[in-house]
Amino acid sequence: MSQWFEHLSLNIIVRMIAGKRYAGTEVGRSSREVINEFLRLFGQFDLSDAVPLPLLSWIDFQGHIKSMKRISKELSVITESWIDEHVNKNLKGELGNEQDFIDVMLSAIDDKFTNYGHSKETIIKATILNIIVAGSDTTSVDLTWILSLLVNNREVMKRAQEEIDIKVGKERWVDESDIKNLVYLQAIVKETLRLFPPVPLSVPHEAMNDCHVGGYFIPKGTRLMVNLWKLHRDPRIWSEPDEFIPERFLTSHAEVDYLGQHFEFIPFGSGRRSCPGITFAMQVTHLTLAQLLQGFDFTTPLNMPVDMTEGQSLTLPKAKPLQLVVTARLPYGFYLN
From the candidates 275, 285, 288, 298, which is the catalytic residue?
Answer: 275
In 3D space, the residue among 155, 230, 165, 166 whose CA is nearest the CA of residue 188 turns out to be 155
- 144 in active site: no
Residue type, 23: A
Q: Which residues of 133-145 are buried (b: 16+ CB within 10 A; e: fewer)?
A: bbbbbbbbbbbbb
Any binding-site annotation on 211?
A: no
Q: Can you tell me the distance from the alpha carbon of 61 to that of 54, in angstroms, rounded to the nearest whole number? A: 12
Contacts of 26 (CB under 8 A, 6+ apart): none
- 211 in active site: no
- 251 in active site: no
From the candidates 5, 79, 138, 298, which is the catalytic residue?
Answer: 138
From the candidates 196, 268, 288, 298, which is the catalytic residue?
Answer: 268
In 3D space, the residue among 108, 316, 39, 96 whose CA is nearest the CA of residue 201 turns out to be 316
DSSP 83-131: HHHHHHHHHTT---S---HHHHHHHH--GGGGGGS--HHHHHHHHHHHH
CB 135 within 8 A of CB 280: yes
| Parallel, antiparallel or unpaired: strands 223-224 and 216-218 | unpaired
Phi and psi at residue 59, to the nearest 5°:
-75, -35
Quick check: helix, strand or coil at residue 25? coil
Strand partners, 270: none
Neighbours of 292 (CB within 10 A): 19
In 3D space, the residue among 240, 251, 164 whose CA is nearest the CA of residue 195 turns out to be 240
Quick check: helix, strand or coil at residue 67? helix
Residue type, 256: V
Annotation: binding site: 275
> Which residues participate in catalysis according to the annotation?
138, 268, 275
Annotation: binding site for heme: 275
